Amino acid sequence: MDEENIYRKQTFGTKTGFGRSPALLVVDFVNGFVDPEIFGGGNIAEAVNATVPLLSFFRGQGLPVVFTRIVYADDGADTGIWCEKVPRLRELIELAPASQVVGELTPSSGEAVIRKTQASAFFGTHLSGILKAKGVDTLVIAGCTTSGCVRASVIDAISHDFRPILAADCVGDRALGPHEANLFDISEKYADVLSASQIIASLRR
Amino acid sequence: MDEENIYRKQTFGTKTGFGRSPALLVVDFVNGFVDPEIFGGGNIAEAVNATVPLLSFFRGQGLPVVFTRIVYADDGADTGIWCEKVPRLRELIELAPASQVVGELTPSSGEAVIRKTQASAFFGTHLSGILKAKGVDTLVIAGCTTSGCVRASVIDAISHDFRPILAADCVGDRALGPHEANLFDISEKYADVLSASQIIASLRR
Amino acid sequence: MDEENIYRKQTFGTKTGFGRSPALLVVDFVNGFVDPEIFGGGNIAEAVNATVPLLSFFRGQGLPVVFTRIVYADDGADTGIWCEKVPRLRELIELAPASQVVGELTPSSGEAVIRKTQASAFFGTHLSGILKAKGVDTLVIAGCTTSGCVRASVIDAISHDFRPILAADCVGDRALGPHEANLFDISEKYADVLSASQIIASLRR
Amino acid sequence: MDEENIYRKQTFGTKTGFGRSPALLVVDFVNGFVDPEIFGGGNIAEAVNATVPLLSFFRGQGLPVVFTRIVYADDGADTGIWCEKVPRLRELIELAPASQVVGELTPSSGEAVIRKTQASAFFGTHLSGILKAKGVDTLVIAGCTTSGCVRASVIDAISHDFRPILAADCVGDRALGPHEANLFDISEKYADVLSASQIIASLRR
């Protein structure tokens, strides 16, 4: 409560709303991030399920959808310091089952699937240009994990001057404490945080 | 505890250590982020104090030091979506007292002071090149806020393949809950987290 | 002639045209790049003159205008390899007369003036975000030198997925051979090349 | 001659030399850029041949080697404005023979092969981090075309504060006029230009 007062007084948490042209970014919803034996666990599987109708809505409206996967070279030639910090990341290679988008959210033709090697969907990728070429100004973000690649992608989304909208029930994490803590930070500093149904209702208008 | 088990099993939190050539990055320790009436509060003032000997050590060793300040154009011509999210950011203009590095840490000649407009010290700046030109491979990070510009800069530091070392007592935040939550995330995913005295001891060897 | 046949067959030089929302980028038209005793000479002064009515048109239409200047720290703390390649670049510091936008094109309130340290207006700057925040999809480019900062900025403009339009009579170079050679390359690979009057006529429609 | 005087007086063309840790970057030497019926022609095939001993030398010394290929999604989901400027670029998809590195220079295990969608090897890729993680400070550049992806990559190499060395006989272009004009620009503004044998001799010392 007291913390929220500090944030309010310092003007954090102002809503930035929707622009004219939204896209959906689905961050790292791959098999290895759902499986608790690899990088999954917590509420990630539920977040995948909650993303199904959101993805369906974007497709129904003909709005752009982009997916990301973490992918390193088979021989590790493009790994770096992050793979020293989290060594199992090196297992995420092009054809590894762990590195494929989950079946429930299989990408359709025309939906870019971006390979990335760092936490943010924008870092070392052409995501910003892909979205700009489509005239996108607003980025609805689903995926995992909230405290990892989602948080990093949200920061970069607003840094690239997109309007970020976090789909709160469509993001998940292996542990719920960091999930909640990061939803708070994101809401105060970087994105409007709305449920999938609120997002759909807003875009329908 | 249980959460830590999940993280250990998934190989998070591995130490990346020091490379051969460290630099110190001091993020946004400006008057306006110490003053609780603007963007300060919490343990930020203490973090400034703890940074004094760390900075002194780097200077004594002749190691590179870089500072950042958030600076927007006087007329707001370079503001964007982040200034809609946190409107008071617009007050941080070139000559505003709030936007000057705190007196305790006044930059010396030869220490770059980088203007930035986004959370990360790397985003839309030449920080990466400045460090590369000096042969830096390891980045010790102090500054504020832990949950804001420090976290964003740490993510970008490892994404740019620097070895990030967070100086735990030299980072602060306006509210302690987010401070602690972000130290946890950073330690697990992006940086070694050490005290200033541990860092100094490691670099002395 | 023969070369042009090769380029045509390989589909180079296709027009990309104007999008819906243009901005004007004025690259490095500062005193030091007009003065032949510093970095100027050739047809740069003429290019400045040709830019006056183009700038006036953008202002009259209320369209965004952004300027760039090369600026290094007074103590050289942010210089790097490019300043080894071209040592006199270090003279371009914040208050140096050589580093101020020429009087004929003095920036107005609300027009961002971006400090840069590399050839491209986009590199290590927030230019892309500034344009995105304004909804810009098309970048008309004037400035100098054609073979240097203009060429580099044009490449980055299309790489960032803006539609680049080079204002042929509003770009200049210290030597005419490289000027002409770069106009050819730019036209074939990266931008539509039009005169200021053609650009104004197109935008009037 | 007169032009060279202008450049000398303005301090262009200063040598930046070799640092301590070089890597070899091979830009876009793929089948489609050798074949004159696709994007090839001119002196590109000769440049491939001249690169064979240079690559062999780097491998023999255990120095890092990185290749690039232009690769777009099969369904064109990640194409943008550059593919409007040069429409045949869209043919360069993952498994197209035109998009595979030429047989003479087949990448070895441990040599990163980077997919890119823009002219520069650095743009929207993780090349900078891959090199930084290996401690590289000097980038020897071979590939094609001199006036296209090589020139763009050289500009970004120095902008990222690597020391660029252009291997003059190991770069080629579909037309010789632009090849020569770009060697001049690159030599004056961005890189030391040396033959492969000079580079090998320098690195042997």
Residues of A in contact with C160 (CB under 8 A): 128-129, 132
A131 vs chain C: nearest CA distance in angstroms? 9
Phi, psi of B37 (to 5 degrees): -80, -10
Chain D contact for A120 (CB, 8 A cutoff): no
Tell me which residues of chain B, numbers 12 to 41, contact chain A at a CB-CB cutoff of 8 Å. Answer: 12-14, 16, 36, 38-39, 41
Per-residue pLDDT, D4: 83
Give the pair of three-digit tokens for residue C144. Answer: 């100098």
Per-residue pLDDT, B2: 78
SS3 A126: coil
Mean per-residue pLDDT of chain A: 97
Chain A contact for B137 (CB, 8 A cutoff): no
Ordered DSSP codes for chain D: -HHHHHHHHTTTT------S-EEEEEE--BHHHH-TTTT--TTHHHHHHHHHHHHHHHHHTT--EEEEEE-B-TT-TT--HHHHHSGGGGG-BTT-GGGSBPGGGPPPTT-EEEEESSSSSSTTSSHHHHHHHTT--EEEEEEE-IIIIIHHHHHHHHHTT-EEEEEEEEEE-SSHHHHHHHHHHHHHHT-EEE-HHHHHHHHH-
pLDDT above 80 for B1: no
Q: For the segment C30-78, what is each residue's pLDDT rounded down to a tens digit?
A: 999 999 999 999 999 999 999 999 999 999 999 999 999 999 999 999 9
pLDDT above 70 for A20: yes
CA C128/CA D180 separation, integer angstroms: 32
Least confident of A64-78, A100-114, C1-15: C1-15
| 8 Å CB contact of B124 and C129 | yes
Give the pair of three-digit tokens for residue C105. Answer: 């094109």
- Between helices B151-159 and B176-189, what is the axis angle to 10°? 10
Per-residue pLDDT, B178: 97
pLDDT above 90 for A1: no
Give the pair of three-digit tokens for residue D146. Answer: 């001199």
CA D76/CA D93 separation, integer angstroms: 9
Q: Where does the pLDDT of residue A205 fall: very low under 50, low under 70, confident under 90, or very high at 90 and above?
A: confident
Q: Where does the pLDDT of residue A37 fall: very low under 50, low under 70, confident under 90, or very high at 90 and above?
A: very high
Tell me whether the omega of the peptide bond preceding residue C106 falls within 30 degrees of 0, making it cis. no
Would you tell me which CATH number, out of the four given (2.40.10.350, 3.40.50.850, 3.40.50.1000, 3.40.1370.10), belongs to the domain C19-204? 3.40.50.850
Q: Which of D130, D136, D156, D160 to mutate to test the interface with A (most CBs of A within 10 A)?
A: D130
Q: Which of A43, A68, A86 to mutate to test the interface with B (most CBs of B within 10 A)?
A: A86
Superfamily of domain B21-204: Isochorismatase-like (3.40.50.850)
Residue among A110, A112, A124 minimizing CB distance to D126: A124
Superfamily of domain A21-68+100-204: Isochorismatase-like (3.40.50.850)
Per-residue pLDDT, C122: 98
Per-residue pLDDT, D2: 78
Per-residue pLDDT, A2: 78
For the beta sheet containing A65-70, the strands, ordered from the edge strand earlier in sequence to the opposite edge, are A112-116, A65-70, A22-27, A138-144, A163-172, A192-194
Per-residue pLDDT, D37: 94
User: Can you tell me the ipTM of this complex?
Assistant: 0.97
Tell me which residues of chain D, numbers 77 to 106, contact chain C at a CB-CB cutoff of 8 Å. Answer: 80-82, 84-88
Q: For the segment B54-97, what is each residue's pLDDT rounded down to a tens digit?
A: 999 999 999 999 999 999 999 999 999 999 999 999 999 999 99
Per-residue pLDDT, C3: 80
Q: What is the pLDDT along chain D (205 residues), one digit of tens a residue?
A: 578 889 999 999 999 999 999 999 999 999 999 999 999 999 999 999 999 999 999 999 999 999 999 999 999 999 999 999 999 999 999 999 999 999 999 999 999 999 999 999 999 999 999 999 999 999 999 999 999 999 999 999 999 999 999 999 999 999 999 999 999 999 999 999 999 999 999 999 8
pLDDT above 80 for C94: yes
pLDDT above 60 for A176: yes
Q: Where does the pLDDT of residue C29 fall: very low under 50, low under 70, confident under 90, or very high at 90 and above?
A: very high
What is the percentage of chain A residues whose pLDDT exceeds 90? 97
Determine contact, residues B122/B153, Cβ cutoff 8 Å. Answer: yes
Per-residue pLDDT, D72: 98
What is the percentage of chain C residues whose pLDDT exceeds 90? 97
What is the percentage of chain A residues whose pLDDT exceeds 70? 100
Q: For the segment B9-41, what is each residue's pLDDT rounded down to a tens digit?
A: 999 999 999 999 999 999 999 999 999 999 999
Distance from CA of residue A174 to its chain's centroid? 15
| 8 Å CB contact of A130 and C161 | yes
Per-residue pLDDT, D3: 80
CA gyration radius, chain C: 16
Per-residue pLDDT, B4: 83
In 3D space, the residue among D126, D160, C76 whose CA is nearest the CA of residue B127 turns out to be D160
Nearest Cα residue in chain D from C164: D81
CA A86/CA A81 separation, integer angstroms: 9
Per-residue pLDDT, B205: 87
Mean per-residue pLDDT of chain B: 97
CA B144/CA B46 separation, integer angstroms: 11
Give pTM, 2 decimals: 0.97
B12 vs chain C: nearest CA distance in angstroms? 31
Active site residue C170: no
Residues of C in contact with B124 (CB under 8 A): 124-126, 128-129
CA D109/CA D102 separation, integer angstroms: 16
Neighbours of chain A (3+ CB pairs under 8 A): B, C, D
Per-residue pLDDT, C2: 79
Q: Where does the pLDDT of residue C192 fall: very low under 50, low under 70, confident under 90, or very high at 90 and above?
A: very high
Residues 6+ apart with CB under 8 A from B112: B66, B67, B130, C73, C77, C78
User: In which residue are the tokens 């705190």 written?
Assistant: B102
Q: Which of A59, A71, A75 to mutate to test the interface with D (most CBs of D within 10 A)?
A: A75
D155 vs chain B: nearest CA distance in angstroms? 13
